[in-house]
Amino acid sequence: MGVLRKKGEPTETVTVRVPSRVKAELDRLREETSAAGFDLNATLCDAVIRVTKQIGEELRQVSGKSNGVGRANGLATGSGGGV
């Protein structure tokens, strides 16, 4: 097995405002996870990816209901004058 690894997906910085107590807790967790050999940033990144997908799915469901278009097996159904 080789030593070389492929580069991961490029990353960007996101700034999110949270209550001061949450920021303090994240700072404490960052120190503890680092001391234990874990990567809190990777864990938080995974959580943000999951919640971003969930938000997108929920928005698609809400927008589908509000414009009268339903979904079945990923396909639009309902009014729309299709064939």
Give how many domains the chain has, as a whole number.
1
Q: Tokens for 25, please give them.
A: 């807790």
Cα(79)–Cα(70) distance, integer angstroms: 9
- Give me the domain span that covers residue 58: 41-69
Q: Which residues in 3-68 belong to E strands, given as ranges?
A: none
Confidence (pLDDT) at 38: 95
Confidence (pLDDT) at 74: 61
Confidence (pLDDT) at 41: 92
- Whether residue 48 is contained in a domain is answered as yes
Cβ(34)–Cβ(68) under 8 Å? no
* 70: Cβ contacts below 8 Å, ≥ 6 apart: 64, 76, 77, 78
pLDDT, one tens digit for every residue, the chain (83 residues):
688 778 788 999 999 999 999 999 999 999 999 999 999 999 999 999 999 999 999 999 999 877 665 556 566 655 555 54
- Whether residue 57 is contained in a domain is answered as yes
- Whether residue 2 is contained in a domain is answered as no
Q: Is the pTM of this model over 0.75?
A: no
